[in-house]
Amino acid sequence: MRVALLAAAIVVSESRTVVVTGATGNTGSQVYLALKAQGIDVRALVRSADKAHDRLGCDLCDESEGIFVGDISDVASMAGVMEGADSLVITTGPAYHCTLPDVFIGCKYYDGADPFHIQWLGVRNQVNAFASSSGPADADRHVVLMSNTLTTSPDNYLDKVGNGHGCFYGLQGEVYLLGSGVPSTIIKASGLSEGEAGGKEILVGHDDEGWNSMNPNVAYITRGDIAQLLVFAASNPEATKGLRFDVTSKKIGGTPTTDISSVFKAAQLPWDPRAADLSTVV
C-alpha cells in the first residue's frame, strides 16, 4: 500500500511510541504505514497476525516487529501493546452488511461489531488499557480518536442505520475519553470514502455545524485524508490536544488541502492561545 505524506504531516520524535488500534483496517493501516515510513516507533493492535501480514507487510508479525494480537473487548489483552506508549490512535469502528437497498431496513451490524460494543465499550476499554499502563505521566500522554459526525445530534438518520444508534454511542465514547483525564484529540469524520490524500479541499466544523451533511457540494472525506489528520494529531500532540472537530471535504471545486496543519489551525477556537503555533510546524 502506498501512503502519500502531505506537508506538515510528521514532526514527532523517533523516541515517541505510538499505538494504532484497528491497524489492519482500511484507515488504520494507512496511519500505521505512514508513521512507520517516518521511522517512528509504532505498534499495531490487531486481531489477526495473518491479516497483519497482508495489510501491514510484516514478516514475523509478532511483538518483535511491533505487531500485538489483542481484542478491544478485553482490556487485559491490550496490556502489552500499551506498555510504555506515549500516544494512542483509535481507528476501530463498527461494521455492518446490507441485504436490501434500504439502508435503514436492509442493514445489520455484525455480532460484536455494533456501535455499542465498538464505539462505546471498545473506546472505553482502549482508553482504560492505555491510561492504566506504565509509561509517561498522563499529562505527557495523548489519545487521538477517530469518531463520526452527528454525535451531537442523536436520533438522526445515521443513528437509525441498522438500529445501531452509532451517533449516540459515538458520543458516549467521546465523553468517556474527554472525562478520562488523558489529553486527547477527537476528529469526527462525515463519512469515509476510498481515495488518497490531497485530492479535495477539507472543510472543518464544530458540533455538527459549519456545513450541512445533506449539502450536495459536501462529500465524504477520503481515508487518505483522514489518515493524514490522525497522523498529524499523534505527531504533534502539543499543537492538537484539546481539539474536537468535524471534517468533510468539498465535492466540487475548492482548492485541494495539501498542508494538513491548516486543518488544525481552522479547528482552533478563536481564543485558543496556540493559534500561532501551527504556523511553525514543518
What is the phi/psi pair of residue 43, to 5°? -115, 150
Closest residue by Cα to residue 237 from 183, 197, 157:
183
The pLDDT, as a whole number, for residue 107 is 82
Instruction: Please report, for the chain, the start and end positions of each structural domain, with discontinuous segments joined by +.
Output: 17-92+115-149+165-268
The pLDDT, as a whole number, for residue 279 is 53
For residue 63, how many other CB atoms are within 10 A of its CB?
A: 12
CA 262 to chain centre: 18
Three cell numbers, residue 45: 493492535
Decide if domain 17-92+115-149+165-268 falls under CATH 1.20.1270.30.
no
Mean pLDDT by 10 residues, the chain (282 residues): 48 74 96 93 96 96 97 97 96 85 72 93 98 81 94 79 84 97 95 88 89 73 95 93 94 90 94 70 46
Q: According to the 3-state scheme, what is the secondary structure of the chain?
A: CCCCCCECCCCCCCCCEEEEECCCCCCHHHHHHHHHHCCCEEEEEECCHHHHHHHHCCCCCCHHHCEEECCCCCHHHHHHHHCCCCEEEECCCCCEEECCCCCCCCEEECCCCCHHHHHHHHHHHHHHHHHHCCCCCHHHCEEEEEEECCCCCCCCCHHHHHHCCHHHHHHHHHHHHHCCCCCEEEEEECCEECCCCCCCCEEEEECCECCCCCCCCEECEEHHHHHHHHHHHHHCHHHHCCCEEEEEEECCCCCCCCECHHHHHHHCCCCCCCCCHHHHCC
What is the rounded distance in angstroms from the CA atom of residue 93 to the CA atom of residue 201?
Answer: 24
Task: List C-alpha distances in Å: 229 to 14, 177, 241, 249, 270.
Answer: 19, 19, 13, 13, 21
Q: Report the predicted TM-score, pTM, of the whole model to 2 decimal places.
A: 0.90
The pLDDT, as a whole number, for residue 282 is 42
The pLDDT, as a whole number, for residue 213 is 62
Side-chain-facing half-sphere of 9: CA atoms under 13 Å: 26
User: What b/e readout covers 149-169, taking b as 16+ CB neighbours within 10 angstroms?
Assistant: bbbbbbebebbbbbebbbbbb
What is the rounded distance in angstroms from the CA atom of residue 122 to the CA atom of residue 114?
Answer: 10
What is the rounded distance in angstroms from the CA atom of residue 144 to the CA atom of residue 234?
Answer: 6
